[in-house]
Amino acid sequence: MFSRPTSNSMASPKKKLQGLVAATITPMTENGEINFSVIGQYVDYLVKEQGVKNIFVNGTTGEGLSLSVSERRRVAEEWVTKGKDKLDQVVIHVGALSLKESQELAQHAAEIGADGIAVIAPFFLKPWTKDVLINFLKEVAAAAPALPFYYYHIPALTGVKIRAEELLDGIQDKIPTFQGLKFSDTDLLDFGQCVDQHRQQQFAFLFGVDEQLLSALVMGATGAVGSTYNYLGKKTSQMLEAFERKDFSLALNYQFCIQRFINFVVKLGFGVSQTKAIMTLVSGIPMGPPRLPLQKASREFTDSVEAKLKSLDFLSFTDLKDGKLEAGS
Ligand SMILES: CC(=O)N[C@@H]([C@@H](O)[C@H](O)[C@H](O)CO)[C@@H](O)CC(=O)C(=O)O
């Protein structure tokens, strides 16, 4: 079952997590059970069709907090097993309301040979100060002392508004395995200051608002974790490449094209359920419905997106001519 050897050594920075990281969907059957049978095919799709070799499992997109602990363990195992020799890094989100559950999942991630763990702030009984949040994160990180640890900042969903900049101040003294930040928020002042104040430390700064990634690259993002990289991975990579080449005008054109699609779905009502529907349409792999309390994407949504995808020749950027942005597509 477990595919990679475990290690008892302290976390070593090894390969830095960078570039695109797909926040994986948890495929489900029509009756709400996890559909493990398509995960192997999903890995191949990400690698071959989207060029994405890093994944973030059991996060928001993966409905991690809607799964039981035993399901989360099995999902993590399946991704690690199926990703062996194909994926570069598999990071498991192990955040939970219960510290014990989070520690169990962290330890399990280490046992199965995952490449890192990430944790959100607990969001029912909440930590109200930086020190309390750090103490919680530290206890989880200590359960997997050989794994790189990432803090997953998503204040709009957790309701924990402690600024990331504040949290990062002195974090490695408390959490020696701290390796980076997954920043799913639009506050670029906070994000920029995280980068600015930790330039020497080689942290990974992973941005999580896909439609604004270019702005975060300017601010110093070293990578990105997001739902759209499941089906827009290749296109977003083109934006990253243009940015690397300092062709900012082309990079902006790519970002605008990506925004047009995201804006289209946002106007229809966009979230995890709709991500499942889009991914099913684009990849042909059945992602199934979400689990309650989420509702399946409507037929109207799926039909509109299908028509849009056809008109775009699925985001082939045919509307991007000679590096110029054409309006209205
Ligand atoms: C709130 C939310 O789901 N944000 C997404 C984005 O990728 C988002 O879907 C995208 O920017 C479109 O708005 C990611 O940050 C979530 C994520 O990385 C995860 O699933 O853990």
Is any atom of ligand 1 closer than 6 Å to the C-beta of 58?
A: no
Asked if the structure places residue 58 within a domain, the reply is yes
pLDDT band at 265 (very low <50, low <70, confident <90, very high): very high
Cβ-contact 292, 273 below 8 angstroms? no
Cβ-contact 108, 76 below 8 angstroms? yes
If you write DSSP's letter for every residue of 162-209 in order, what string do you get?
--HHHHHTTHHHH-TTEEEEEE-SS-HHHHHHHHHHTGGGT-EEEE--
Cβ-contact 92, 105 below 8 angstroms? yes
Q: Say if residue 293 is preceded by a cis peptide, omega within 30 of 0.
A: yes
Bridge partners of 117, per DSSP, are 92, 149
User: Helices 99-112 and 69-83 sit at what angle, rounded to 10 degrees?
Assistant: 20
Atom of ligand 1 nearest to the CA of 62: 20
Bridge partners of 205, per DSSP, are 181
Asked if the structure places residue 166 within a domain, the reply is yes
pLDDT band at 325 (very low <50, low <70, confident <90, very high): very low
Is 228 marked as a binding-site residue? no
- Our answer to whether residue 82 is catalytic in this structure is no
Cα(18) to centroid of ligand 1, in Å?
17
Cα(9) to centroid of ligand 1, in Å?
32
Cβ-contact 240, 222 below 8 angstroms? no
What ranges in the chain are assigned the alpha helix state H? 39-44, 69-83, 99-112, 130-142, 155-158, 164-168, 171-174, 188-197, 213-219, 229-244, 248-268, 272-283, 299-311
Asked if the structure places residue 199 within a domain, the reply is yes
Cβ-contact 136, 101 below 8 angstroms? no
Q: What percent of the chain has pLDDT over 90?
A: 88
Is any atom of ligand 1 closer than 6 Å to the C-beta of 56?
A: yes
Please report the pLDDT score of residue 315 as a whole number: 57
Query: How far are the Cα atoms of 64, 120, 154, 199, 226 from residue 132, in angstroms, in the given order?
Result: 23, 13, 17, 25, 28
Is 47 marked as a binding-site residue? no
- Our answer to whether residue 152 is catalytic in this structure is yes
State the ipTM, two decimals. Answer: 0.99
pLDDT band at 310 (very low <50, low <70, confident <90, very high): confident
Please report the pLDDT score of residue 321 as a whole number: 42
Task: State the CATH number of the domain containing residue 228.
Answer: 3.20.20.70
Asked if the structure places residue 320 within a domain, the reply is no
Q: How many Cβ atoms are within 10 Å of 198's Cβ, its own excluded?
A: 19
Atom of ligand 1 nearest to the CA of 262: 12
Cβ-contact 204, 223 below 8 angstroms? yes
Q: Is 231 a residue whose pLDDT tops 90?
A: yes
Asked if the structure places residue 101 within a domain, the reply is yes
Asked if the structure places residue 125 within a domain, the reply is yes
pLDDT tens track for 3-12: 343 444 444 4
**Residue of 181, 237, 220 lying closest to 204 (CA atoms):** 181
Q: Is 260 a residue whose pLDDT tops 50?
A: yes
Is any atom of ligand 1 closer than 6 Å to the C-beta of 254?
A: no
- Give dist(CA 145, CA 89) in Å, integer: 17
Q: Which domain holds residue 211?
A: 19-245
Atom of ligand 1 nearest to the CA of 266: 13
Asked if the structure places residue 303 within a domain, the reply is no
pLDDT band at 316 (very low <50, low <70, confident <90, very high): low
pLDDT tens track for 45-83: 999 999 999 999 999 999 999 999 999 999 999 999 999
Q: How many Cβ atoms are within 10 Å of 273's Cβ, its own excluded?
A: 20
Asked if the structure places residue 160 within a domain, the reply is yes
Is any atom of ligand 1 closer than 6 Å to the C-beta of 168?
A: no
Classify 323 as helix, strand or coil.
coil
Cα(61) to centroid of ligand 1, in Å?
7
Q: Is 184 a residue whose pLDDT tops 90?
A: yes
Domains in the chain, number: 1
Query: How far are the Cα atoms of 160, 202, 243 from residue 192, in angstroms, in the given order?
Result: 19, 15, 18
pLDDT band at 126 (very low <50, low <70, confident <90, very high): very high
